[in-house]
């Protein structure tokens, strides 16, 4: 289902009913949109879901969604993980997540860094989360969604359009056949 944000309330309601029916029948589905209505997010992202990796390269991904009314904090699993990635939709939120982490093995990566600084940061990130990396936590914005060949056991991501989420999730358990944990967080406007 493409561009579902463009449909009126009646059609969106029908899509939600159809989605629940298809889920009950075990039919895979994908909803794409630049913006999802709040009611749709609440229906789609329940407390916990499991997705099977359809690429054939991994197992299942367990997703825990924080849909509270307060600004989400990082899950405990990120704080304790040997290798973790946190994706923020904005640079300011990435800085908040970074400052919230009480770890010495953390890296902040976003587009406001100069090109030479980004090159140095990318080397640091690869040293930590590359295939034979030493471990750590990388907090980044969408700048790190595609070009870095890194992997984490645990990932936390701000809720975002599905194509971006798929790119982000592609950095999870990339060098392993084991399952990873993906936590989705819904940022609040204030």
What pLDDT, on a 0 to 100 scale, did the predictor assign at position 95? Answer: 92
What pLDDT, on a 0 to 100 scale, did the predictor assign at position 136?
96
Helix (H, G, I), strand (E, B) or coil at 86: strand
136, 139, 143, 145 alpha-carbon torsion, rounded to 10°: 60
Tell how strand 180-185 and strand 154-158 pair up.
parallel
CB 89 within 8 A of CB 142: yes
Single out the residue of 122, 168, 172 nearest to residue 141, CA to CA. Answer: 168
State pTM to two decimals: 0.65
Name the residue with tokens 């800085």.
Answer: 95
Could you tell me the CA-to-CA distances from 6 to 3, 12, 89, 128, 161 in Å, in that order?
A: 6, 9, 22, 41, 14
Per-residue pLDDT of the chain (190 residues; tens, 9 = 90+): 776 666 677 777 788 888 888 888 888 887 766 555 555 555 555 545 555 555 555 555 555 544 444 556 889 999 999 999 999 988 888 999 999 999 999 999 998 888 888 889 999 999 999 999 999 999 999 888 877 899 999 999 998 888 888 888 888 888 888 888 999 988 776 5
Determine phi and psi for 16, rounding to 5 degrees: -65, -45
59/53 Cα distance (integer angstroms): 6
User: Which of 110, 68, 70, 106 is closest to 89 using CA atoms?
Assistant: 110
Locate tokens 């969408």: which residue? 142
Determine the Cα–Cα distance for residues 93 and 98; give it in Å rounded to an integer. 8
pLDDT at residue number 24:
86
What residue has token string 């034979």? 132
φ/ψ of 94, rounded to 5, equals -60, -45
């Amino acid at each position: 289902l493409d561009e579902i944000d463009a449909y009126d309330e009646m059609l969106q309601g029908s899509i939600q009913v159809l989605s629940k029916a298809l889920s009950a029948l075990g039919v895979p589905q994908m909803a794409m949109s630049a913006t999802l209505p709040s009611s749709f997010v609440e229906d789609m992202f329940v407390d916990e879901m499991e997705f099977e990796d359809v690429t054939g390269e991994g197992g299942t991904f367990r997703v825990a969604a924080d849909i509270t009314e307060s600004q989400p904090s990082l899950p405990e699993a990120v704080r304790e993980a040997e290798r973790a990635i946190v994706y923020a939709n904005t640079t300011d939120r990435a800085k908040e997540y970074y400052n919230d982490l009480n770890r010495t093995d953390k890296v902040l990566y976003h587009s406001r860094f100069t090109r030479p600084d980004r090159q140095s940061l990318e080397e640091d990130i690869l040293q930590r989360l590359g295939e034979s990396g030493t471990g750590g936590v990388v907090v980044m914005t969408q700048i790190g969604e595609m070009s870095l060949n890194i992997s984490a056991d645990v990932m936390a991501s701000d809720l975002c359009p599905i194509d971006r989420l798929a790119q982000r999730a592609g950095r999870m358990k990339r060098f392993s056949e084991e399952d990873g944990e993906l936590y989705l967080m819904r940022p609040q406007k204030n």
